[in-house]
C-alpha cells in the first residue's frame, strides 16, 4: 500500500472505531443505571439498548447509495453529526423515552456503507482487502475497549457522561474526516464494497446468503439480549461493584481471543470451516446454558462468559469470510450490505426481546431465550453447504466495451484456478473468485496485462 492508502485506511478505521466505541460503551452499563430515568421499565431499558440497531439497519444501505450522488465525505459528515446529535439528546434526557430517541438518532448516522465506499475510492483494487481488514479490526478493538471502559466510565461520570463523551468522539471523527482523510480523485460505485440496487433481488433470493444473514442476526440478538441481564447478575447476584465489572470482562476477552486463533487456523488453513463454525455455535449455546445454571457463582459466570466469547469471536471472524466465499464475484458489496443490516437488526431485536424477557422471567428467562435462539441457529446452520475455499480478486482492466468485457471474462475463466470471472466495463474491473492453491498467477498476469481484445 502507498502512504496515501495507509493514511486513508487508518483514518477511516479511526472514524469507525470512535463511532462504534460510543455505541458499545453503553452495552455493559446501561441496565445498571437506567432505573434513574423516568418511566424506565425492563422492556423500555432493553429497547433503549438496542434502538440504534433499527435505524442503523434501515438507513445504512440508503446512506451508501446517497454517497454515490452527493459525495462520500459529505454523507459521512452528516452521519457523524446525526450521531453527535443523538448522543446529546440522550445525554440531556431525564426520561427513558428521551434516551430511546437519542439512541435511535445515533443509529440514524449510518455511515458504514459510505465509509467502505470511500475506502474503496482511496485504494487500488489489489490493496482494497487490506484496507477493509484494517477497518474490520478497528471494530473488534472498539468492542473490546467498550466492555472494559464502559464500567469504569459509568462509575465515574454516569450514563449522561458517557453520552457526552460519545458526542465528543463523533465530533473528533469530523476532525479526522476533514484533516486526515484524503479526498478521492474519483468516486464511483464499487461492487466489492457497497450495495448495487440491481443486485438486491438476486442476493435476497440466495438461500446460502440468507442462512448467513440469519446467523449474524442471531449472534447479535443473543449478545445484546444477554447484556440486558448480565450486568445486573454481576451486581445484584454476585455483589460485584459496577466499576469492578471491567476486571471480569478484560481477562475473559483476552483469553478468548487467544483460544480463538487455533480454531480460525483450522477453519481456513485446514479447510474445516463448517465443523468449526458449528462448534462455535455450540459454544455460544453452552455459554448461555451455563449462565442459567451458574449465574449465582462467580467462577461459573466467568467460565460461561469465556466459553461464550470463544464462540462469539470465532463466529464474528468466520461469518464475513463465509459471505465473501459464498457471494457471486461481482455481488460481494451487496451481500455484505444486507449482512451488516441483519447484524444491526439483530442488535435491535436483542435489546427489545431481552427487555421483555427480563421483565417477565428475570435473567434466567433471558439466558434461556438466548439459548433457544442459538439452538434454532444451530439447526439452520447444520444444513449449510460445505463452503468453497475461494478468494476474491479484483483486477483493473482499463477501458473496455461491453463485448470486450464479455470476451475477457471468458478468457479469464479459462485461467487455471479462476473459478468465476465477471468483467464490468463501466467499473474497468474484473471481479474474480480464485482457488489460491491452483491459481496460475503468471497466466493471469499475462492475460490482464496485455492489450484489450478487439471488440465487435
Per-residue pLDDT tens over the stretch 30-73: 999 999 999 999 999 999 999 999 999 999 999 989 998 898 99
CA-to-CA distance for 132 and 129, rounded, in angstroms?
Answer: 5
The β-bridge partners of 123 are: none
Whether residue 409 is predicted with pLDDT greater than 50 in this model: the reply is: yes
Cα separation of 385 and 14, whole Å?
36
Share of the chain above pLDDT 90, in %: 62
pLDDT band at 204 (very low <50, low <70, confident <90, very high): very high
Sign of the dihedral defined by the CA atoms of residues 134, 108, 308, 311, in that order = negative
> Looking at residue 108, what is its pLDDT?
93
Q: What is the pLDDT of residue 370?
A: 98
- If 0-12 CB within 10 Å is exposed, 13-18 middle and 19+ buried, where does residue 366 land? buried
Average pLDDT over residues 85-102: 96
Instruction: Give a three-class secondary structure readout of 124-172.
Output: CHHHHHHHHHHHHHHHHHHHHHHHHHHHHHHHHHHHHHHHHHHHHHHHH
- Distance CA(124)–CA(117), nearest Å, equals 12
Give the H/E segment covering residue 208.
helix 207-232
Task: State the pLDDT at residue 449.
Answer: 67
Burial of 200 (0-12, 13-18, 19+ CB in 10 A): middle
Q: Do domains 204-389 and 391-449 have the same CATH topology?
A: no
Task: Give the model confidence (pLDDT) of 212-249 as tens digits.
Answer: 999 999 999 999 999 999 999 999 999 999 989 999 99
What is the average per-residue pLDDT within 370-392?
92
Mean pLDDT along residues 186-202 = 83
CATH number of this structure's domain 204-389: 1.20.1250.20
C-alpha cell at 389: 475455499
Angle, to 10 degrees, between the axis of helix 332-382 and the axis of helix 112-121? Answer: 130
pLDDT at 452: 39
| Max Cα–Cα distance, the chain, nearest Å | 77
| pLDDT interval class at 1 (50, 70, 90) | confident
Given a cut of 90, whether residue 124 has pLDDT beyond it is no
The rounded distance, in Å, linking the Cα atoms of 384 and 378 is 10
pTM given for the model: 0.92
Q: Locate the domains of the chain by residue range.
A: 1-183, 204-389, 391-449
Please check the confidence at residue 114 and state whether its pLDDT lies above 60.
yes
CA angle 101, 107, 110 (to 5 degrees): 145
Q: Alpha-carbon distance 278 to 211, whole Å?
A: 13
For 10-59, give the DSSP string. Answer: HHHHHHHHHHHHHHHTTTTTHHHHGGGSBT--HHHHHHHHHHHHHHHHHH
* Rounded Cα–Cα distance for residues 411 and 408 (Å): 5
Query: Grid coordinates representing 342?
Result: 441483519
Selected residue with higher pLDDT from 444 and 206: 206
**May I ask the CATH architecture of the domain 1-183?**
Up-down Bundle (1.20)
pLDDT tens digits along 285-342: 999 999 999 999 999 999 999 999 999 999 998 999 899 889 988 888 899 999 999 9
pLDDT given at position 443:
86
What is the pLDDT averaged over residues 197-211? 93
Third-level CATH fold of 391-449: Alpha-Beta Plaits (3.30.70)
pLDDT value at residue 234: 96
> pLDDT tens across 244-280, in order?
999 999 999 999 999 999 998 888 888 889 999 999 9
138-156 tens-digit pLDDT: 888 898 899 999 999 999 9
Amino acid at each position: 500500500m502507498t502512504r496515501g492508502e495507509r493514511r486513508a485506511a487508518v483514518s477511516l478505521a479511526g472514524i469507525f472505531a470512535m463511532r462504534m466505541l460510543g455505541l458499545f460503551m453503553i452495552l455493559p452499563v446501561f441496565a445498571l443505571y437506567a432505573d434513574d430515568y423516568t418511566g424506565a421499565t425492563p422492556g423500555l431499558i432493553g429497547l433503549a439498548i438496542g434502538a440504534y440497531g433499527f435505524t442503523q439497519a434501515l438507513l445504512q444501505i440508503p446512506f451508501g447509495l446517497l454517497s454515490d450522488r452527493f459525495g462520500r465525505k459529505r454523507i459521512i459528515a452528516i452521519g457523524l453529526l446525526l450521531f453527535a446529535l443523538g448522543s446529546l439528546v440522550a445525554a440531556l434526557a431525564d426520561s427513558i423515552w428521551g434516551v430511546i430517541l437519542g439512541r435511535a438518532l445515533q443509529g440514524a448516522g449510518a455511515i458504514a456503507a459510505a465509509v467502505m465506499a470511500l475506502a474503496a475510492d482511496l485504494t487500488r483494487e489489489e490493496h482494497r482487502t487490506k484496507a477493509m481488514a484494517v477497518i474490520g479490526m478497528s471494530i473488534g478493538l472498539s468492542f473490546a475497549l467498550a466492555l472494559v471502559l464502559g464500567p469504569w466510565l459509568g462509575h465515574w461520570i454516569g450514563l449522561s457522561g458517557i453520552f457526552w463523551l460519545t458526542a465528543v468522539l463523533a465530533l473528533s471523527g469530523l476532525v479526522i474526516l476533514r484533516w486526515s482523510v484524503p479526498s478521492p480523485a474519483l468516486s464511483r460505485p464499487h461492487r466489492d464494497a457497497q450495495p448495487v440496487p440491481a443486485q438486491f433481488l438476486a442476493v435476497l433470493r440466495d438461500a446460502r446468503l440468507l442462512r448467513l444473514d440469519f446467523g449474524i442476526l442471531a449472534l447479535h440478538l443473543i449478545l445484546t439480549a444477554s447484556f440486558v441481564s448480565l450486568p445486573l447478575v454481576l451486581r445484584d447476584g454476585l455483589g460485584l461493584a459496577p466499576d469492578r465489572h471491567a476486571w471480569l470482562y478484560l481477562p475473559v476477552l483476552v483469553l478468548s481471543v487467544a483460544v480463538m486463533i487455533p480454531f480460525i487456523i483450522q477453519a481456513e488453513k485446514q479447510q474445516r470451516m463448517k465443523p468449526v463454525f458449528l462448534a462455535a455455535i455450540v459454544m455460544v449455546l453452552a455459554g448461555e446454558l451455563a449462565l442459567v445454571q451458574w449465574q449465582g457463582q462467580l467462577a461459573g459466570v466467568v467460565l460461561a462468559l469465556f466459553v461464550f466469547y470463544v464462540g462469539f469471536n470465532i463466529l464474528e471472524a468466520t461469518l464475513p469470510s463465509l459471505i465473501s466465499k459464498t457471494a457471486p464475484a461481482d455481488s460481494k458489496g451487496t451481500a455484505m450490505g444486507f449482512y451488516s443490516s441483519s447484524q444491526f437488526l439483530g442488535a435491535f431485536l436483542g435489546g427489545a426481546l431481552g427487555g421483555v424477557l427480563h421483565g417477565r422471567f428475570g435473567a434466567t428467562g433471558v439466558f434461556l431465550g438466548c439459548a433457544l435462539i442459538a439452538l434454532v441457529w444451530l439447526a439452520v446452520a447444520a444444513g449449510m453447504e460445505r463452503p468453497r475455499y475461494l478468494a476474491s480478486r479484483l483486477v483493473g482492466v482499463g477501458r473496455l466495451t461491453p463485448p470486450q468485457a464479455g470476451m475477457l471474462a471468458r478468457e479469464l475463466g479459462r485461467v487455471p484456478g479462476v473459478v468465476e470471472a465477471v468483467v464490468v466495463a463501466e467499473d474497468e474491473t474484473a471481479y474474480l473468485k480464485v482457488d489460491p492453491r491452483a491459481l496460475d498467477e503468471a497466466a493471469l498476469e499475462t492475460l490482464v496485462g496485455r492489450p484489450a481484445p478487439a471488440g465487435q
